[in-house]
Structure 1
Amino acid sequence: MARTLPLTLPGSLLLSDMDGPGAYSGVEHVCMDVSPKGDRYLLTRIRQISAGRKEGMCAHLISRFRPDGGLAGRLVLHLSRGVGERETLGGLPTTIDDLCVLPDGSLALTAAQGEVFLVDAELRGTIGSWGGDRSTSWDEWDVSEHLRGGFATLIRTTPAGRLLCVVPEREAGGMGTRPNLIGLAEDPLTAEERPTVRIIKALVVPGDGPFTGKWVADEGSPRLPHTIHDGAPAGPGNRPTPSLLTEVRDRGCGGVWSLSPRRADFHYEAYRVLAEDRFVIPLFESPRPDRWSSYSYALIDDRGTLIGELESPGRGDSSPIPGEHYAVVTDPARGRAYHVNHSGLYMWDADGRLLARLPTTEKAYKGLRHLKPMACAPDGTLILIRPEHGLMLDIEIPDDLADLGPVVAEALADHNRRRNRLKKEWKPVDWRWVENEAPLTHL
């Protein structure tokens, strides 16, 4: 059974004069996580400029969908108005890059520099945060203070309630940070308590391997008090070796032998928990990668051991890089991983073996080209979105993989029919589905 729903936007936030010359409207559905009860939390960014550039609006918000697909409420994380010099009207002091549903049902919203903001499950507001002092301007920031006071760039929960974390370090030769240390926290993250993260792997270790570039700094970078490796806080001089980048290169996984720390890109949407002791860690060439660039969806265990990778879709016409189809989603309860790019849908088992591939060269699966996987529901349903049309598609994955092809083909056909019906009912402008009934809370 398939289900297609519109990803509606709150009309009270949107600009009205959007039909004339110069008008611009951009909507990005960044990421999604699903609670054990089946509630879906979607992070969305909206940017609009009205006709004639008279008005401008930028908003970041979280929408909560009940298991039946109904919209339960929204929380506005950031709102600003104006063109050029925008006036911030409220919200968080930084851009949120990712979200995670914690074992207690609350949300952890994370930023690139390691700040974490905790939000209650009902989206009523923030209940705590971890980060550095924001009383100074960006160019006066104490990067080390933010690293010591923050928690993680990215968090994922395991089936047993542990937290898989990617912790940032100071960027080499810069004022910013880089996600680098991968670890596990056994205890809960709360407003009062920041658990210790046991570091099991580093993406890059300066001087490790035949690399000339540096991803993170050794000089002027702090040890991180909420982490531990070899009995001491992790950081410069105390990181797991060899790095994941070196191991992947030496094993020839995905042909990434050509990667260097200066060219290893970070993709939130592909860091996943595949089992209690098995995690997907992506490595992609950058900058300016193309379909022949190297990449790997590496698999590590909870001790940091590289145990393999998801059998690569390949490079060239099968590469996920054209169109930036980097996302992987997982169903830990069933030990499955999914990926969709312009060449088709891929499914793997917990050992990284390819179980199925549905190619878009076949007419029945051509519609996969337009879809992006976002998450898996507790019952195994694969949740995808169609970004350019603002639609969400649920596909119930069958237990018998022999039925996968027919189920997906029928879901895609039903999606097209439902999309056309919704368009007639809602009459959206530029595929913007607008509503004003769901509760809307501002920070």
Structure 2
Amino acid sequence: MTSNPTVPLTLPASLMEARRVDPACDGWGFVVHHAVATAAGDTYVVSGAGRYRREAEGATDPGEQNFRCRMITRYGGDGRPVAVALYGQSRPDGTPSAVEEGSEPTLAVLPDGTVAVSSKPGSTCLISSDLSRVLAAWPLPWGWEEEKERNGDPYAASISVTPAGRLLCVTSEFGLSDTAGAHPNIVALSEPGAPLAPGSKTPLRALATHDARTGRQTDADLHPHVRFRDAPVGRDHRPSPSLTEIVSRDAQHPDDYGDCTLGRPAALGDDLFVVPVFGRIHRAGNRGQVFTFLLLDDRGAVRGRLEGLDRYEDSPFTGFCFTVVADPYRARAFHLNRHGLYAWSADGRLRSRMSTAHKPYKALTHFTLLETSPAGELLLAHRKQHLLLRVPVPGDLDGLASAVEGALKSYARGRAAWKKEYGPVNWHWVDDSARVHAL
């Protein structure tokens, strides 16, 4: 943990210069997707930058061209960037990026220090800890061409690592219901001592199916590394009942969870996991829509739910805040949305609720919850000021409210210190000190 609890989420100066991006101008954007911290004190953040103007289509001037790229930035214990890996755009020599861009990228640091970046619909890439090299890639190309996607070599749409080194994953399937393309559908787990490494596509054991409507599947849709009872998952050979069927049992109306979505699972330990399920998103009026945070064990059995939230007063659909994170070393889970910050113990009991309607916690509406750290901190990102805030979580969750209030008060002081060093323009922190690698 740094002495300054805030960390600026930086942009490489070389990228800004090559694309001739003026931080003071509109028409471009920067967004943070996910972050993961290591026990040694480093933090990896995956983010994206891009520019799009309809009138710029076909432009040849780099200052006018549209662009989009992703970046993984490694920050040292002092909060300063050490290295950056750019991907999702052509390399300087014109060759394609070795890392599939995908959507909704997330990071995991494997037990040997390798960084895994995964994205929907199901691509995974292994990158060296210094971000200089791609060690392995299992892509699942995405787009409108379903047959192109089927020719990919997927691994997982997301990966989390438990204390024992097990991989908690979501994998995607084709042939679901009447939808085209691949969609996250299987919650799966690796066994201890089975590392994910180049040349070693760790087998995953399916714990749960989200949507069991798989009548359109064929042998071409089976993935050998995702198994259930010693055979690849496919068609009716899968965990049953489905998550959709399980959460629908307690719904007020049979169709409440029709076409629901699967959130990213979080590990409460080596053998207990939070699996979020969210009702269908409508074009308007989503507040009050159903959601459930299930607790599953490592055999796929339901062990309860994270209790205590009201579907309207605590709705994650306001602002679409669908992230649930967990601290697997201390067995507790957290969720932040526009209405509050919530914390649970492993038995599903709500232990702390900080309403953003109360002045000390109102500033939380500007933050996104990204992850927990091995040191027991919450990693929050300010959506407009692009700063990472570390919030220490006390051993007793009853003291979390005071810790959050203190961290929010210290945020302004930490921000002021970084402003003196960087002089940001429109809250964009441009850095020229980190080594940049084009992957």
- Does TM-score exceed 0.5, indicating one fold? yes
The alpha carbon displacement at 1:322 in A equals 0.8
* 1:103 positional shift: 1.8
C-alpha displacement of 1:272: 0.7
Deviation at 1:423, TM superposition (A): 3.9
Does the C-alpha gap of structure 1 residues 105 and 294 become closer, same or farther in structure 2, counting only changes over 3 Å? Answer: same
The yes-or-no answer on 1:437 pairing with 2:433 is yes
- Which residue of 2 is the match for residue 168 of structure 1? 172
Label 1:221 to 1:294 Cα distance change in 2 as closer, same or farther (>3 A).
Answer: farther
Summarize deviations over 1:65-103 as a string: whole Å, max 9, x none. Answer: 12332322110112369xxxxx98645344252222112
Corresponding residue number in structure 1 for 2:189: 184
The more displaced of 287-296 and 136-145 is: 136-145
Q: 1:349 to 1:389 in 2, by over 3 A?
A: same
Alignment of 1:227-238 (within 5 A): 227-238=226-237
The answer as to 2:114 corresponding to 1:106 is yes
Alignment of 1:96-135 (within 5 A): 97-131=105-139
Structure 1 distance, partners of 2:133, 2:187, is 29
Change in Cα spacing, 1:196 to 1:425, as seen in structure 2 (3 Å) is closer
TM-superposed deviation, 1:420: 4.3
Q: CA deviation at 1:293?
A: 0.6
Q: Distance in 2 between matches of 1:379 and 1:17?
A: 37
Stretch deviating more after TM superposition (398-407 or 97-106): 398-407
Inter-partner Cα distance in structure 2 for 1:363 and 1:127: 48
State TM-score, norm by structure 2. 0.87
Q: Deviations over 1:51-75 (max 9, x none)?
A: 9842333221100112332322110
2:147 maps to what in 1? Answer: 141
- Of 56, 59, 64, the residue aligned with 2:74 is 64
Show the counterpart of 2:7: 5
**CA apart distance, 1:111:** 2.9
In structure 2, runs of 5+ residues without a counterpart are 57-63
Q: Counterparts of 2:236 and 2:54 in 1: how far apart (Å)?
A: 55
Taking a change above 3 Å as real, the CA distance of residues 140 and 50 of structure 1, as seen in their structure-2 partners, is closer
Q: Give CA deviations for 1:202-222 in whole Å, capped at 9, x if unaligned.
A: 11212xxxxxxx7x7335653
Q: Kindly, what percent of the aligned residue pairs are identical? A: 31
- Output the CA distance in 2 between the equivalents of 1:140 and 1:358: 44
Letter in 2 for 1:139: E
The 1:257/1:65 distance shift into structure 2, 3 A limit, reads: farther
Q: What is the CA-CA distance between 1:131 and the residue it aligns to?
A: 3.9
1:374 partnered with 2:337? no
Residue 156 of structure 1 aligns with which residue?
A: 160
Provide, for residues 377-429 of structure 1, a one-character-per-residue CA deviation record: whole Å limited to 9, x for no partner. Answer: 21111111101110111111122344322222121111123334544553322
* Cα RMSD, aligned residues only: 2.8
SS in 2 for 1:317: coil
Long gaps (5+) in structure 1: 82-86, 207-213
Task: Find the aligned partners of 2:23 and 2:116 in 1 and give their Cα distance.
Answer: 37
Work out which of the residue numbers 83, 95, 100 in structure 2 matches 1:73.
83
Aligned residues of 1:244 and 1:306 also touching (Cα < 8 A): no
Which residue of 1 is the match for residue 60 of structure 2? none
1:27 aligned onto 2:30? yes
Amino acid in the other structure paired with 2:99 = L
Are the equivalent residues in 2 in contact too, given 1:79–1:88 (CA < 8 A)?
A: no
Asked if 1:18 corresponds to 2:22, the answer is: yes
Could you tell me which amino acid in structure 2 is paired with residue 10 of structure 1?
Answer: P
**TM-score normalised over the length of structure 1:** 0.86
Asked if 2 retains the 8 angstrom alpha-carbon contact of 1:47 and 1:59, the reply is yes
The correspondence of residues 261-300 of structure 1 with structure 2, limited to 5 A, is: 261=258, 263-268=259-264, 271-288=265-282, 290-300=286-296
Distance in 1 (alpha carbons) for counterparts of 2:262 and 2:15 = 31
Distance 1:346 1:174 in 2: 34
Deviations 1:11-41 (A, max 9, x none): 21124453787x3121111111223433211
What is the aligned partner in structure 1 of residue 209 from structure 2? 202
Query: Per-residue CA shift, 1:280-323, capped at 9, x if unaligned?
Result: 11111223261111111111110101111111422223211111
Secondary structure of 2:341's partner? strand
What pairs with 1:197-346 in structure 2 (closer than 5 Å)?
A: 197-206=204-213, 217-219=216-218, 222-252=221-251, 258-261=255-258, 263-268=259-264, 271-288=265-282, 290-346=286-342
